[in-house]
Chains A and B, each alone.
Chain A
Amino acid sequence: MDKNLLSKKAACNSHGQDSSYFLGWQEYEKNPYDPITNPTGIIQMGLAENQLSFDLIESWLENHPNPAGFKRDGASIFRELALFQDYRGFPPFKKALANYMGYLRGNKVRFEPNNLVLAAGATSANETLMFCLAGPGEAFLLPTPYYPGFDRDLKWRTGVEIVPIRCSSSNGFKITKAALEEAYQRAKKCNLGVRGVLITNPSNPLGTTTTRDELDTLLDFVVAKGIHLISDEIYSGTNFGSPGFVSVAEAMIGRDHNVSHRVHIVYSLSKDLGLPGFRVGAIYSKNNSVVAAATKMSSFGLISSHTQYLLSELLSDEGFTRKYTEENRKRLKKRHGQLVEGLRNAGVGCLRSNAGLYCWVDMRHLLESNTFEGEMKLWNKMVYEVGLNISPGSSCHCNEPGWFRVCFANMSADTLNVAIRRLKTFIDSGRRSRPAPERIRVIVFARKKGKPSFGRIHRRISQWSLGDLYRRINGGVRSALRAVRYNLTVDAA
């Protein structure tokens, strides 16, 4: 059948699913690791899923058969649930969800259930917000690196563009006022009307929580430009280390109404409770127009009433949620520590992180060339030779090659050890037989100071890169030249 009979969206192949982020997944599907049946298979380290604490949920569900059986206080409420399709959501569930969100923020902020709009997962919530806040040909600014799925979720059906805010490792990828301004101007030059900024806090893929200063900078920026701020806080329950998690809701305290109607929070239970299959997402906004529009649009992704009821009971059990959250944080911290330690032993560092289900790993020193081609070569080796599906920074639109996102919460401790061992083996073998890095042998004529100018003194300078040569010449050093090896500084995690 003629593909011309389909819509442009359906007929085109550029839907972001052909980036390396997704290709790695496909390779994993073909050859998945199993400790017994397929010990040489690919280990999935590209999926940010929390499988560490599901046993706690399981035992709660087993001890509370009533919600799963459509019973409330012993009486059947099947009829009520089977017919419930109100797009305003099941009130007890919204109340329980709002309370849980407040708890995760140390109860420093209170969420009103009436300002909460439900959606079938954060994927649906983010798309709905795009439909509400921007039109085709308009843009949102996103700090890089960002979750590769945004290229699909935010742009696909909405027609909205993403303009990256370039962050760099020199300051730990923090968002600066200059970077925001630069991105805004860049968007303007491309004739894209900027409608807002979207951040993930805690960040995906960095694993860091956004600092109070960054939040203040962002809030000042959106007020000055008259645009929106979306804070995707789906990992808010995974903050296991210091500094603590500061929500944009907290940063808004004390600011006036001019700010509050611009800020929208996206939440989901897929990461914090490890329930991605339940498809539970939410939008929280104090902007009544956004709430009204998003509520009506939620008809396109309502959560099953059965699930809403089940979760309303689970989240209302505050003793359980407290115990779960604390235990989950402990397990995440331990697993995170295991990965970081293992990487350190292999001579690999990562960005210091305190949240999330992954680490932002620095493999710049393993690149053959400091380019994205080099990164792709290394990624290919990781997937096909080492057997680890990790996500390359280029798929996250990182400016600098050599960074990778490595997930640790979707496997057992033993599997993680296997992965670390494989990586160490690869790196060690690489060190022994690695070809000399691209360096340029430079013979420089140097004149020693104070000596008579007859007779030239040659020094053979080796192991300099062109960059070093440039720096030296620029620096004006003309005598006593020394070979300098380029050093990589590693942040100890």
Chain B
Amino acid sequence: MRLVVPLQGVVQGRGGLVLGSLLPCALFYVLQLYLKRKNRSSPSSSATSVSELPAGIPRTPSRGLLSSKTSTGPAPISSRAASVAGPSDSPYYVGFKKCREDPYHPASNPNGVMQLGLAENQLSLDLLRDWLAEILKDLALDGEEGNLSVSGLATYQPFDGLIELKMAVAGFMSHVMQGSVSFNPSRIILTAGATPAIETLSFCLADPGDAFLVPSPYYPGFDRDIKWRTGIDLIPAPCRSTDNFSLNIATLERAYNQAKKRGIKVRAVLVSNPSNPVGNLLNRETLYDLLDFAMAKNIHLISDEVYAGSIHGNEEFVSIAEVLQTQDFDRSRVHIIYGLSKDLSVPGFRVGVIYSFNEHVLSAASKFARFSSISVPSQRLLVSMLADSKFITRYVGQNKKRLQKMYALFVDALKQLGVDCVKSTGGFYCWADMSKFIRPYSEKGELELWAKLLNVAKINITPGSSCHCIEPGWFRCCFTTLSEDDIPVVIERMMIVINNHNDYH
């Protein structure tokens, strides 16, 4: 009662000026103190925006395990871990899992799941295998071991890669780009695959809460590589089928302005060239425009060129490095991602490249490289392989022929089904239009068709929604994991589902 009375007085104005202002102020401060202490005692909420999940990462039931403070409950894991610990429900990863559990083999498992969702080049591994066999035979005869010897393997080596491998990779990059540009080994940082390369570069260029602009549809792995641990967001700049999904600077401009309005700081534009999942190339004009855009907005330009040596079309590939050679642009804002997983068909050896013209980025990335160094014996092996220029020339030539053949066969086969693909020039996949087969014409319809293809036809292809494509009905189909005999099997299976799907609807 005693408390109520003075309050009553305040409310009714009987308390006078002092009481009328003192009491409310006091109450206000007490409330603030209480809230502050409450917030302080739950440490997870004092973390910065990194603990906020970026949009698009699926929440999982394992979040139930998370508790901010407990001495008898389960030990809490970080929110970053909780968001990735559970099984992913993204079609991209679900498809992988199904393939792994029940992989197709023409002889031993003809009813297994056929893998058309993994952009891996299995067409030319026999060339590498034969090279290796030759080398080992020569070693046995000569008695010298050269780079395959075990001496010197014991010690710590530079975390950002052996200088010999950097030189060899620089040479290889130049070779696959038809010698149009020469790469300087001292601008290379080597990492255990292109995955840590893009993550490390992201750590160097942006802070948690910042964003990169990326034309969509884009490679689903970017959501993991860039967003997971760095806290950087990806803002898609949608490309359309009317433009053949090619990059439009106006779209980038629009996306940039929208981000600015939302108060998000854009730090870079990330493009893939040849693009994944569409497979088209950026022409010189577009590259100039991109550089102008980056200059005007004072941001970085990251060019993911992992498929540069996997061109099957007739168009000429132009690297951003080539454009920089001829024009007077501020090179310090340009960075290239490369790797040997696609062009040399050795994803298991884990070789990724950050190529940058920016000394500070190189210095920082070389220190971060300690978290993702390449195993020295594998580096040594690759130095030998890349140094054999006769073999590399033969490999690149043969590989291109096989890619061209496979691409032509696959696209023709799809055409017979009534499925058209965007005319693409590079990469291991084609961007197929199945929009006429989906009902309703929405992401839901697309995912229904995807699920049918995976579970009934047992074919794993990647739906456009996983790649953030704004138009439903597009699918990425990889053809480099198939042999020529597999193609009719694929078509047959797809035909059953597509026909049934049509009949049902």
Q: Chain A: residues with CB nearer than 8 A to chain B?
A: 1, 3, 5-11, 15, 17, 47, 49, 51, 54, 57-58, 61-62, 65, 68-70, 76, 78-79, 81-86, 120-121, 123-124, 127, 131-138, 153, 156-157, 159, 191-193, 195-196, 222-228, 258, 261-262, 274-280, 287, 289-290, 292-294, 296-297, 299-307, 310
For residue A305, give the distance in angstroms from its CB to the closest CB of chain B. 4
Q: Give Cα distance in the complex from A84 to B348, angstroms.
A: 5
Instruction: Known contacts A1-B358, A5-B333; decide if A131 and B80 are in contact (CB<8 Å).
Output: yes
Q: Give Cα distance in the complex from A287 to B66, angstroms.
A: 13
Which one, B6-14, B239-247, B276-284, B376-384, is touching chain A?
Answer: B376-384
A49, A138, A222, A226 — which one has the most chain B CB atoms within 10 A of its CB?
A226
Closest to A77 in B: B129
* Nearest 3 pairs of A and B residues by beta carbon: A193-B43, A277-B376, A305-B348
B190-212 near A? 1/0 per residue, CB < 8 Å: 00110110010001111110100
**Contact yes or no, A83 B122, CB < 8 A:** yes
Task: Name the A residues within 8 Å of B367 (CB-CB).
Answer: 15, 17
Task: List which B213-257 residues lie within 8 A (CB) of chain A.
Answer: 224-225, 228-230
**Contact yes or no, B368 A8, CB < 8 A:** no
Task: Name the A residues within 8 Å of B65 (CB-CB).
Answer: 289
Cβ of B44 within 8 Å of any chain A Cβ, yes or no, is yes
Cβ of B84 within 8 Å of any chain A Cβ, yes or no, is yes
Instruction: Known contacts A120-B371, A132-B81, A277-B375; decide if A292 and B75 are in contact (CB<8 Å).
Output: no
Cβ of B327 within 8 Å of any chain A Cβ, yes or no, is no
For residue A447, give the distance in angstroms from its CB to the closest CB of chain B. 59
Q: Give Cα distance in the complex from A107 to B440, angstroms.
A: 60
**Contact yes or no, B78 A307, CB < 8 A:** no
Closest to A129 in B: B81
**Contact yes or no, B364 A279, CB < 8 A:** no
**Contact yes or no, A5 B71, CB < 8 A:** no
**Contact yes or no, B206 A123, CB < 8 A:** no
Query: Which of these, B80, B205, B372, contacts A120 with CB under 8 Å?
Result: B372
Q: Chain B: residues with CB nearer than 8 A to chain A?
A: 40, 43-44, 46-48, 50-51, 62, 65, 69-82, 84-86, 100, 120, 122, 125-126, 128-129, 132-133, 136, 140, 148, 150-151, 153-157, 192-193, 195-196, 199, 203-208, 210, 224-225, 228-230, 267, 298-300, 330, 332-333, 341, 345-350, 358, 360-361, 364-365, 367-368, 370-378, 381
Task: Name the B residues within 8 Å of A7 (CB-CB).
Answer: 203-207, 210, 267
Q: List 14 A-B contacts (CB under 8 A).
A: A5-B298, A68-B148, A82-B125, A123-B370, A135-B44, A136-B47, A136-B51, A137-B46, A277-B157, A301-B192, A303-B192, A304-B349, A304-B378, A305-B348
A68, A135, A137 — which one has the most chain B CB atoms within 10 A of its CB?
A135
**Contact yes or no, B81 A302, CB < 8 A:** no
Query: Which of these, A82, A196, A300, contacts B195 with CB under 8 Å?
Result: A300
Q: Tally of A-B residue pairs with Cβ under 8 A?
A: 271
Q: Give Cα distance in the complex from A78 to B378, angstroms.
A: 13
**Contact yes or no, B375 A289, CB < 8 A:** no
Instruction: Known contacts A132-B78, A301-B372; decide if A225 and B378 are in contact (CB<8 Å).
Output: no
Task: Name the A residues within 8 Å of B350 (CB-CB).
Answer: 85, 302-305
**Contact yes or no, A133 B46, CB < 8 A:** no
**Contact yes or no, A306 B81, CB < 8 A:** no
Task: Name the B residues within 8 Å of A156 (CB-CB).
Answer: 368
Q: Give Cα distance in the complex from A307 to B199, angstroms.
A: 23
A225, A228, A294, A297 — which one has the most chain B CB atoms within 10 A of its CB?
A297
Instruction: Known contacts A82-B348, A131-B78, A302-B193; decide if A136 and B48 are in contact (CB<8 Å).
Output: yes
Instruction: Known contacts A157-B203, A302-B193; decide if A54 and B154 are in contact (CB<8 Å).
Output: yes
Task: Name the A residues within 8 Å of B76 (CB-CB).
Answer: 195, 226
**Contact yes or no, A124 B371, CB < 8 A:** yes
**Contact yes or no, B129 A76, CB < 8 A:** yes
New contact pairs (20) apart from A9-B364, A224-B71, A227-B75, CB-CB < 8 Å: A3-B360, A5-B299, A6-B360, A82-B346, A85-B347, A120-B371, A120-B372, A124-B371, A138-B47, A193-B43, A226-B75, A261-B75, A290-B81, A292-B62, A292-B85, A297-B229, A300-B199, A300-B225, A304-B348, A304-B350
**Contact yes or no, A123 B77, CB < 8 A:** no
For residue B392, give the distance in angstroms from its CB to the closest CB of chain A. 16
Q: Give Cα distance in the complex from A138 to B376, angstroms.
A: 35
**Contact yes or no, B376 A278, CB < 8 A:** yes
For residue A458, give the distance in angstroms from its CB to the closest CB of chain B. 61
**Contact yes or no, A275 B349, CB < 8 A:** no
For residue A3, give the distance in angstroms from its CB to the closest CB of chain B. 6
Instruction: Known contacts A78-B125, A289-B82; decide if A138 and B43 are in contact (CB<8 Å).
Output: yes
Task: Name the A residues within 8 Å of B376 (CB-CB).
Answer: 277-279
Closest to B71 in A: A226
**Contact yes or no, B374 A279, CB < 8 A:** yes
Query: Which of these, A10, A136, A278, contacts B360 with CB under 8 Å?
Result: A10
Q: Give Cα distance in the complex from A419 to B44, angstroms.
A: 50
Task: Name the A residues within 8 Å of B364 (CB-CB).
Answer: 6, 9-11
